[in-house]
Amino acid sequence: MDCTAPECDGLGGCSTPVIPGYCAIDGVCYQEGATDPANSCQVCHPGFSQISWAVKANDAPCDDGDPCTTGDKCLSGQCVGPLATCDDGLECTTDFCDDGVCSYQVMTGWCAVNGACWQDGQTSPNNSCQICDTSQSVQHWTNLTGVSCDDNSACTENDVCVNGLCVGTEIDCDDNLVCTLDSCDNGQCIHTIAPGYCFIDGACYTANSTNPNNVCLKCNPTAAQRIWAFNSGAACDDGNACTKGDVCGLGNCVGQDYDCNDNKECTIDSCNGDGSCTHEIADGYCLIDGACVAAFEPHALLACKACLPSISKTGWSDLTSPCDDGDACTKNDVCQNGFCVGQPYTCDDQLDCTVDNCDGQGGCLNVTMNNSCLIEGVCYNAQTLNPANHCLICLPGMSQSTWQFNDGRPCDDNDLCTTSDKCFAGTCKGLPYECNDGLVCTDDLCTGDGGCTYQRKSGYCLIDGECFADLAVNPGNSCQQCDSTTNPTGWFGITGGSCNDGNACTLDDTCVAGECVGDLYPCDDGIECTANICDGSGGCTFPLASGWCRINGVCWPAGYPEPGVDCSACNPDVDPYSWTQLSSSVQEVCNGVDDDCDGITDPEGSIGCTLYYVDFDNDGYGSMVVPPKCLCQADALYKTSVGGDCDDNNGNVNPGATEICDWDPITNDPIDNNCDGIANPENTNGCERFYLDVDGDGHGVPEHYKCLCEATGNYRSLSPWDCDDNNPYAWIGNIEVCDGYDNTCDGIVDPEGSQGCKYYFKDEDNDGYGDDHQPGKCLCGPDDVYVTETTGDCDDSNPNINPSMPELCNGLDDDCNGVIDDGVIEDMCPHDDGLGFELHGTMSCSAGRCVVTCFAPEDQGAWFDTDNDPYNGCECQADIHSLEGLHSSGTSARELTPLEDKGDSIVVAGNLADTEADWWKVQAIDLTPLEEENGCDNFNFKVRFLTNEDDSFRFQVYRGGLSENNLMCASATTYEWATNFADYGSKLGECDCSSYVGFHDAPEDYGRCVADAGAYSCGSGLGIGQPNKNQCSDNTADFYIKVFAKPGASRSCPSYELEFSNGKYDFSGL
C-alpha cells in the first residue's frame, strides 16, 4: 500500500506501519481528513486512529443521500436530516414528498376547493347551485341545473338552478286598476296611486271627481289620494228649511241657519219661516218657571204638588193621593189643598228600657234598648239575674225577650243534702249526699257543704253510739239507767233496789249511786288445789280445781311426777286422786301430763290441741303465709288461734279490721285491710264519689257515680258537671273554644268571643276588606256578613274601594289611606302615547278628574286639548297668530298687504282650537274710474275659505272699524263687498256713474247700487240714481276678519286656508 512503509523487525519478521498523515482502512489508503465514502459522518483522523474511521463532531454538515430531508447533520457518527414539510393544512388531502417535491393528493369522497375541504355532495355555502361532485372534479365546484333554489329575492317565485346560477320568475303584482302603479318590494306587492288619481273605497277617481254620495267631497290628488277632500265653496242643498245660502264647507253642506232651540227637553221647537219660533210643550211634560218637569213628577219641597199636564202644563197641580207628612206619629196621611195632613197618635209604652217609635201606619215600634231585656213586660239591665231564679240572666246579646241560662254560676238549690251547687240549663243543681248514722234515736241532718249533723231525739239517750229510751237499764249495770233529761249521753246511777253484783260471796246486793253493793262473807278452806265457791246464799263448796290432783291429802299440779317413781304422774283427766301410770304407748293428750313418758309434756299434735298461728304484728290474727301449728297452748311465736291475717307485718291489716282507702307507702299498691281479697272496694271508708266519665274529659254525669278510693274504669271523674258524656269537649264551667262543640253546655256552639276566635269584619261589598267604620266580631269562623279578617275598607258599599286598590283620579279615596286622589299622577292619569302623541302639557288631578294643563310657549302657538281627553295630551297646537279667547280684540290683528281692485289676492292659513281666534286686517282699495281700465270700477272685495277642514270654522267681518255698527257678518264662510249696478242697461261697475249726491224724486224704476245682499246702498246713505246714471263712491275700506271655531263643531285640531281678494272674481249677486 502506498501509505505504508514496510520494515524488518529484526526477528525475521516484517512490519508495515502507516506513514504519518494517512489512514489505511480496509486495505485502502486515505489521506488525513478524507470522508468515509459510505458514511459522510466518518473521517480519516490519524491522530485518533490510522486503521479505523473517526466520528465527526455532532451537528457537522453532511448529506444522508435522501432528497426529502433538509439540513442534514451528523449525530453520533450518523447523518440525520428532518423530513421536508409537506402540509397544505387540509384534512381532506394526503401530503407526501417525492424525490424532493411535495405532493398533495385529495382523498376519496372529498373536494378541495378554494383552500377548503368539502365532502362529496356538499353544497357551496355561497351558491346553492354549486356542489362538490367528485365524479366531475375534486378541485372545482360542479354547476347544477334544474334543482330548486332560493335567489334571496322575495319578489320571485319558482326559483331553479341554471348552469350554477339561481334564477326565479318575478311575482305578478298587477291589480288591474288603471289608477295604480304596481311593483314588488320584499315579497309584497306595492300599488302606488298614480298621479292625477284618487283611490277611495276600492274605486279609482280622476282629479276633481265628486263623491257620488256627497257633492261636498271631491278627489284632490295633491291633497290626499286615499280619502275624499273637501269640495269647499261648491253649491249644495243641506235639506234644512231653516237655512239659506247652502254651500259646501269641510265636506258638508251648510247653510246659514237661525236657531229655534230653547235648550229645553220638554219643548218641540220649530221654525215659523219668518224668523220666529214656536215652542210647544211636549206631551208628558210641564214647563214651570222655565224648567221642564216630567208628568207626575212631584214638587221638590211640596209632596202634595206635582206636574199634572191634564190639569196644567205651566204650573204645579194639587194632589189628593196618600202622602207622608214626615211625622211617624200620624196615620192616614193624605194630600189636602196642596198639603199633607195626618191623624196624630202616641206610642209611649211607659217602659224605660224601650225606644218608642211610631211606624206611620197607626202602629208602634217599641224597640228594646241594646243593653236591656224586656221579659214578661218588665225591664231588666244587662247581666241582671232573674229575681226568682239566679240561674237565669238577662243577656241582650243573645235574647232581649227571654231569660238565658247562667250555667256554671254558684247557687243554692235549697237542699241541704247536696253540695257544690251550680247552675245547669237554668236550674240550680247540687251533688246529692246521704247523712244516716243508723241510729233510731237521732235526726240525721245535712249541713249543705257535704257534712252532716246528728241531733238526738227527745226521750232518748245516746250512750257509746247506742240508743236507749228513758228508764232503759244499762245492760252492763242494772244500777244505771237512761235519764235523757239529766245525762243524755251517759248512764244515770240509781240508789235503792236489789241487784246482783255478780259476786256469789256477797249477800243482800243493793244499788248505791249506780253501783251494786253486797255484804261479803268468807269461803276459803286453805287448800290450794280446791276451788272456794260461794253459793250466793251464805254457803260454800270446795271442789277440786281443774288441773290438779289431790293425792293422799297433798295437792299436785297436773303432770307432776310421782316422787321417786318413774313414769308416774298426776293426771287429773285419768284420776285426780291417784297417781297415774304413764306408758309410751299412750297418745299424748293436752293435759299438762307427759302421757307417753317421753320427757315432753303436751307436744305439738297432742290430742285436743288447737291450731295456733304466727302473729308477728301482734294484732291477734295469725299469718296466712306461715303454716299454723296444733298446740296445747300458745307459745311466744304461735300465739293466736285466729288466722286469716293477709299481711302479718301490718297490725292494721287483719280480718277484723275496717276496710279504709289505704295504699302501701312503698309500692303504692292498694291495701286489703280486712283480708277479704278485695283492696279498696266500693263504699270503703274514706271513699270519694267518682262520676261516670265515658268521654274522658274529666267531668262525669251527676246521676251515675260510685264511692271509690280511686278512679276505676270510666268512673274516673270527681266533677259531676258533664252535660254530654259522649263529647269530651263539653261540660259546665268549661271555656268556649273554637272547635265546633258546645263546650259550656249552654246550647250555643262556638259563640262570639270563644277562645281561639279571630276578628271578622263586615264585608257587604265582598271585596275582601271589612268595614272600617264598624267594630269587628271575634268569631270562630265567618258568618253571613262578618266574613273577612282584614279591615280597612273605608266604603263597604263599593267593591272598588279598599286598601288594595290603586288610587284613581275620581274624587274618591280608592286605597282608603284617608287622602283623596293622592296617587302618583303618572299612575292615576297615564298619558296614552300609544298613538305617538306627546303630552305637550302637565297632567294633574283636580276635583276627581284628570286635567292636562297645556303648554303655551311664548314664541309658538299654544297647545290645546281639543278632544277633552287628557290622556292623549294636548294634541292641537294653534297657529302663532291666534289670540286667546273668542272675545279677543281685533286691535291686535295681523295686517296684510293692501289689495287693489285689479285682481289682487292673498291666501293665509292657520289652525285653531275651539277657544281661540285669528284676527286679520286688510285694506281693500277702490281705484277711481280714471285709474282703472275703461274708466269702470272692478271693486269686489271677497273673503272665502279655500279649505275649511270638517267645516270647523266661521269668520266675522268688520268694515271700516271694530264697533258693532261695523259688523258686516257674524258667522260666514264667504263674504263679498262690491258695487253691483242694476241700471236700465244692466251695466256692472261704476261706468257711467255720477258723483252727484243730491236727492231726486224716484223714477218709476231706477237703478241702485247694492252692497252685501241689500243691507246698505252704495255710498254712505240712500242714494237715488239719475236716469242712465248711477250714484258712485269710493269703496276703499279697512276690513277686520276674525276667524273662529264654529259653535257646535266637533273638537279637533282642524286647519283652514282663507283667501282675501279684490276684483279677482265677478260679484256673485248676493
Contact 715, 692 (CB under 8 A): yes
Band the pLDDT of 833: cuts 50, 70, 90. low
Amino acid at 120: D
* pLDDT tens for each residue of 640-679: 999 999 999 999 999 999 999 999 999 999 999 999 999 9
List the one residue out of 734, 737, 739, 777 whose CA is nearest residue 758: 777
| CA count, 13 A, side-chain hemisphere, 578 | 5
pLDDT at 928: 61
Rg (CA), the chain: 74
Amino acid at 766: N
Per cent of the chain over pLDDT 70 is 91
* pLDDT tens for each residue of 143-196: 999 899 988 888 888 889 999 899 988 888 888 888 998 888 888 888 888 998
Q: Long-range contacts: 489-493, Cβ < 8 Å, 24+?
A: 489/461, 489/462, 489/463, 490/461, 490/463, 491/461, 491/463
CA 39 vs CA 28, 74, 431, 583: distances in Å: 15, 10, 137, 154
* pLDDT tens for each residue of 322-372: 888 777 788 888 999 888 888 888 888 899 999 888 877 778 888 888 788
pLDDT at 140 over 60: yes
pTM score of the predicted model: 0.38
* pLDDT tens for each residue of 527-566: 999 988 888 788 899 899 999 999 999 999 998 899 988 8
pLDDT at 616 over 50: yes
d(CA 534, CA 542): 9
**Number of residues written out for the chain:** 1070
Contact 854, 874 (CB under 8 A): yes
pLDDT at 277: 80
* pLDDT tens for each residue of 400-449: 899 988 877 888 888 888 888 888 888 888 888 888 888 999 999 998 87
How high does pLDDT run on average in the chain? Answer: 84
* pLDDT tens for each residue of 678-700: 999 999 998 999 999 999 999 99
Overall average pLDDT of the 907-915 stretch: 81
The continuous run of DSSP H or E covering 907 comes out as strand 904-911
Q: Where are the beta strands (DSSP E) in 642-713?
A: 688-692, 701-708
d(CA 373, CA 354): 9
Neighbours of 364 (CB within 10 A): 18
* pLDDT tens for each residue of 982-1038: 443 344 444 544 433 333 333 333 333 333 333 333 433 333 444 444 445 677 889
Band the pLDDT of 800: cuts 50, 70, 90. very high
d(CA 699, CA 697): 6
pLDDT at 29: 93
3-state secondary structure of 935: helix
Q: What are phi and psi of 951, to 5 degrees?
A: 50, 45
The domain limits of the chain are: 7-80, 102-170, 189-254, 687-745, 757-812, 825-877
